Structure 1
């Protein structure tokens, strides 16, 4: 719509990072903002809306953004909006084919949790909804057909779970581990990666996983504890997968390597 990314002095900077400027691919824009924040020790960059206000009614066109900004004391479109990179879409996931079939019998994956190859190495804008609809319909048809042939096998009963002694997990410890996990992922497996950071991430995450795994087995289960264990498990998978990928491409941007 004509908005421009600027630094805290009001200077546009995207043309230095890509010929398309503010219309560059989203991974390029994220790296540009991240790099500027790092180099200038800034908490954010800014989105200058002065060009947008000239030809549209901003409040009518973007009511949610307008309300959110005004709740925080930002007068839009007069004031620039502080912006930082953020996780928006999970690229990758459970490997699945074009109808959601995975390597695990009976397990199907569609949408953001699936890795189908549709998006390539970067997310394609406005494709996720269409992907969910198409894959959802095709997967439902596949399940409906295969469901008629399914049979229930007799299995041994699940042993009674023995309740561990002690109380539930200390929420302070869980919250601290979540913060540590987020910091590790942002600093070492974030927008700009290199092998030394990835190695540090694998080391730190393995130690954190061992600690939480023991914590998990010795305490009463709770939603926050289960979520933390799942978060660390996924984080380790991402770290080790990124460490094995020596190609700098799309969201997996390796410092010092040409794409």
Structure 2
């Protein structure tokens, strides 16, 4: 690293150089970085926490994949594609779904070659479970309900020897006069020392935006940084109105921040949702009952709570008392329940929906390229067309494994073809951005733009954000994160206000019907010259 004159008057800066910089160290980011190193690209990983932090390690259910010779009778690639399209509410890109699902078996094989250990059944074959929206038992898992932790462990171990900058936060992209992204500005360590990482290509693998809401399954780092960075660099995003709420996180009174997840696989093994009176929540709601897609279950829970006498109920229950050996099959869930004083073997688990996954993100092609040369996106920050209006359970780890590899192979091809000449972007003065404090953003989004929304409430949220905004220099991690949350909140509100229907995990109380005549299309969001999110031309091609 070499000295760099800092725009922050009280600090000195630094500079680093690479062929490709990967922002994020979850399944998509580490898969990308490992493949980049194999291809001979000088690779640098930048991550907000430790290498093993992030959302991947919290994933419980597993990886949805149809493996040759290890699948249910009648299960197939076509069936997995069909289930994904059904969950996606008509907005998936059919070609993207088929391509990503088809690459799943090989991606899992490579992951196992890197040391990942999945659970086996009594015959020695990979154990499989079933989750919401799946027509077959095709979800492979590790550690019972600790699949993400095992995937993260294996990839982090394989990444030993990679150049990694831990506790570094990406602030914004460096852009050359040609418009090509050629690096990022970062803040380093607890002192937020500013610096620059220059690279031929930047791969965003920053995860989602769960911290928009007071209760979420996401870790503290999930603040939408990558989406905000991409929008400011000129990229476009789509499907931002579709924020999936997981139906079952462990309920504790006054819980805020990351809440323990109760994996859908618990329902896959026979647990059922009941209300305070013991009545089945999903009875008569959907043909798949308790294994309906997540958006259907979350909406049903919300309706049941709203209809409770006096409106006093704030959670429902997941009755798993009929599952033998619960603690052995679901050790992570059992430990979280024990910490909350709940014994799943003897009593129902109190649960409530919480923000889980973004279904949309930065628009990419099937190889992770965005519309901005030099900028790529993978994992939850990206909109590949796999998820549409609602994610199918356990397709997320699958997507990260497949698209992480594809993106850096695209980088290598673009470098070899001369599409990414080495350019030196200008480190402009430290940017200023509109910021609303995180508690205010979370309160507004949780009240007016969560599972149930309407035009009046979203207008209130938008106006409140406008009057609460202050322009702040992005000199601290807190400022970077709060600026990202502010921008992403506005983008979600813009898309959700415009979609005047209910589809997937976008539920409009004032527009309760699905409208395929007008809304069988995705909406594109970009920033206008003043930096405000606006709707651009709709995406029409490839939409189911």
Please give the range of the TM-score, normalised by the shorter of the 2 chains.
0.7 to 0.9
Question: Equivalent residue for 1:258?
Answer: 513
Q: Deviations over 1:30-76 (max 9, x none)?
A: 11112222332212111111222xxx311110011111111111112
Residue in structure 2 matching 1:82, options 336, 346, 350: 350
Structure 2 residue 499 is the aligned partner of structure 1 residue 245? yes
Question: Equivalent residue for 2:216?
Answer: none
Report the TM-score when normalising by structure 1. Answer: 0.84
Alpha-carbon distance in structure 2 between the residues aligned to 1:71 and 1:230: 33
Question: Equivalent residue for 1:228?
Answer: 482
Question: Equivalent residue for 2:404?
Answer: 136
Residue 24 to residue 143, structure 1, CA distance change in 2 (3 Å): same
Deviates more, 1:197-206 or 1:106-115: 197-206
- Give, in angstroms, the shift of residue 160 of structure 1: 6.3
Alpha-carbon distance in structure 2 between the residues aligned to 1:227 and 1:254: 28
Question: Equivalent residue for 1:168?
Answer: none
Q: Which has the higher strand share?
A: 2
Alpha-carbon distance in structure 2 between the residues aligned to 1:193 and 1:160: 39
Question: Equivalent residue for 1:100?
Answer: 368
Q: Which has the higher helix share?
A: 1
Q: Secondary structure at the match of 2:317?
A: strand
Q: Deviations over 1:102-135 (max 9, x none)?
A: 1111110111101111112110112112211221
Report the TM-score when normalising by structure 2. Answer: 0.41
Q: Is the 8 A contact 1:212 1:229 kept in 2?
A: no
Alignment length (residue pairs): 238
- Give, in angstroms, the shift of residue 82 of structure 1: 0.7
- Give, in angstroms, the shift of residue 18 of structure 1: 2.6
Q: Deviations over 1:178-219 (max 9, x none)?
A: 2221111111111012222222222222223xx232xx14xx
- Give, in angstroms, the shift of residue 151 of structure 1: 2.5
Deviates more, 1:85-94 or 1:194-203: 194-203
- Give, in angstroms, the shift of residue 158 of structure 1: 4.2
Question: Equivalent residue for 2:451?
Answer: 191
Q: Is the 8 A contact 2:360 2:388 kept in 1?
A: no
Mapping of residues 22-171 of structure 1, within 5 Å:
22-40=290-308, 41-52=312-323, 56-148=324-416, 149=418, 150-153=420-423, 158=427
Alpha-carbon distance in structure 1 between the residues aligned to 2:486 and 2:337: 33
Residue 108 to residue 154, structure 1, CA distance change in 2 (3 Å): closer
Residue 212 to residue 16, structure 1, CA distance change in 2 (3 Å): farther
Residue 37 to residue 154, structure 1, CA distance change in 2 (3 Å): closer
Q: Is the 8 A contact 1:206 1:236 kept in 2?
A: no
Unaligned runs of 5+ in 2: 1-268, 515-544
- Give, in angstroms, the shift of residue 161 of structure 1: 5.9
Unaligned runs of 5+ in 1: 165-173
Q: Secondary structure at the match of 1:89?
A: strand
Question: Equivalent residue for 2:32?
Answer: none
Question: Equivalent residue for 1:167?
Answer: none
Alpha-carbon distance in structure 1 between the residues aligned to 2:393 and 2:430: 46
